[in-house]
Amino acid sequence: MHNLKKIINYQLRDAFRSKLVIFYFLFFLVFTSLMFRFIGETSGVITNILNINVSFVPLLTLLYGTTFFYNSRGYILFMLTQPVRRTDLFLGIWGGVAIPLVLAQLVGVLLPFIFFSRLTGDAIVPLISLLVTGSFIVTVFLALAFFVAVWQDDKAKGFGVAITVWFLMALLYDGFILAISIFFADYPLETPLLIISTLNPIDLARIFCLIHMDASALMGYTGAVFKSYLQSTAGSIVAIVALLLWTSIPLTLSVLKFKKKDL
């Protein structure tokens, strides 16, 4: 445990100097500020950041995560000559990437909100759900990136797999849902679709946010069904737990593999 902290500590020092984290922070800062300037309305701004969160962020974290792990190969080999548990080392590296990215995103989004909006009661809940799901998107896809990188030693293949993962989750999965709803149009699909959607972190994050943004209240029966599931406390807990599982399961599998891996 002590070693884990140490590793994260060193990683953080390294990461906060990295150009990508700074770029990531500035991107959210500028983007959110611009949105406030052009749209002005809090819910519109949140919608646009959500769009970024479900498309650009997964891709970026996947690619950054895999690159980072491949580039840390030398560092990993060196560290393993020291009396350090492999689990600590792996989680340390992962945390050292995840924490700065999450922080960069949180602060980058939050600062413009504090400056430009009054943060009234109506805006608080959507904002919190946006920040929480956004953070989870980062951790989930970093975990997946590390998972890919541990299992696939070939850098080029790794990138290929990472992009495929993004493509599957961000695009194809929705196509799959669309196909299901068209094939089984005669059946009441609200609940099954909700369950299928929670199996994909991107969809889950998106729906969770939308439901807390009042947009779904406007969508009649179907919206009401989704809302009644996910807006309840139990629904929120289920969603958060699902996102936690999406982070922890790939991480655990990667750790297991990393422990036995012949480096």
Partner 1 sequence: MIRLLFFLFLLGVSFISTTPGKTLVVQPNGKFKSLATALEAAADYDTIIVKSGKYKTNNLIIEKSVTIIGEGLPVFDAAGKGSVLIVRSSFVTLKGLKIINSEYSFRTDFAGVRLEDVSNCTISDNQFYNNFFGLYLQRTNDIVVTGNNILSFATAQASSGNGIHLWYCKNTIINGNTIAGHRDGIYLEFSSKNDIFGNVAKRNLRYGLHFMFADSSVYYNNKFFKNAAGVAVMYSEFIDMHNNLFFDNKGTSSYGLLLKEIRRSVISGNKFIENTKGIFLEASDKITLKNNLFQKNGWAILLMSNSMENNFERNTFIGNNFDVATNSSQNYNTFTMNYWDNYEGYDLNKDGYGDVPFHPVSLFSVVVTEYKPTLILMRGLFTRLLDIAERVFPSLTPKQLIDEKPAMKRTV
Residue span binding partner 1 (CB under 8 A) among the ranges 26-34, 128-136, 148-156, 170-178: 170-178
Residue 3 contacts partner 1 per CB under 8 A: no
Cβ contact 136:201 at 8 Å: yes
Residue 185 contacts partner 1 per CB under 8 A: yes
Residue 35 contacts partner 1 per CB under 8 A: no
Residue 189 contacts partner 1 per CB under 8 A: yes
Residue 45 contacts partner 1 per CB under 8 A: no
The CB-based long-range contact list for 47-56 (8 Å cut-off, 24+ gap) reads: 47/213, 47/215, 49/109, 49/130, 49/134, 50/130, 50/206, 50/209, 50/210, 53/130, 53/133, 53/134, 53/137, 53/205, 53/206, 53/209, 54/137, 54/170, 54/202, 54/205, 54/206, 55/170
Cα gap 53→127, rounded to integer Å: 13
Cβ atoms within 10 Å, residue 219: 13
Minimum CB distance to partner 1 smaller for 72 or for 216: 216
92's enclosing H/E stretch is helix 86-116
Minimum CB distance to partner 1 smaller for 145 or for 211: 211
Minimum CB distance to partner 1 smaller for 47 or for 247: 47
Residue span binding partner 1 (CB under 8 A) among the ranges 29-37, 66-74, 93-101, 223-231: 223-231
**Sole binder of partner 1 in the list 103, 207, 239, 255 (CB under 8 A):** 207
Kindly state the tokens that stand for 60: 């970026």
Residue 114 contacts partner 1 per CB under 8 A: no
Kindly tell me the sign of the dihedral angle through the C-alpha atoms of 89, 90, 91, 97.
positive
Residue span binding partner 1 (CB under 8 A) among the ranges 80-88, 106-114, 149-157, 206-214: 206-214
Cβ contact 167:83 at 8 Å: no
Residue span binding partner 1 (CB under 8 A) among the ranges 19-27, 62-70, 118-126, 203-211: 203-211
Minimum CB distance to partner 1 smaller for 72 or for 200: 200
Residue 217 contacts partner 1 per CB under 8 A: yes
* Residues at the site binding partner 1, with contacts judged by CB under 8 A: 41, 43-44, 47, 50-51, 54-55, 170-171, 174-175, 177-178, 181-182, 185, 189-190, 193-194, 197, 202-203, 206-207, 210, 215-224, 226
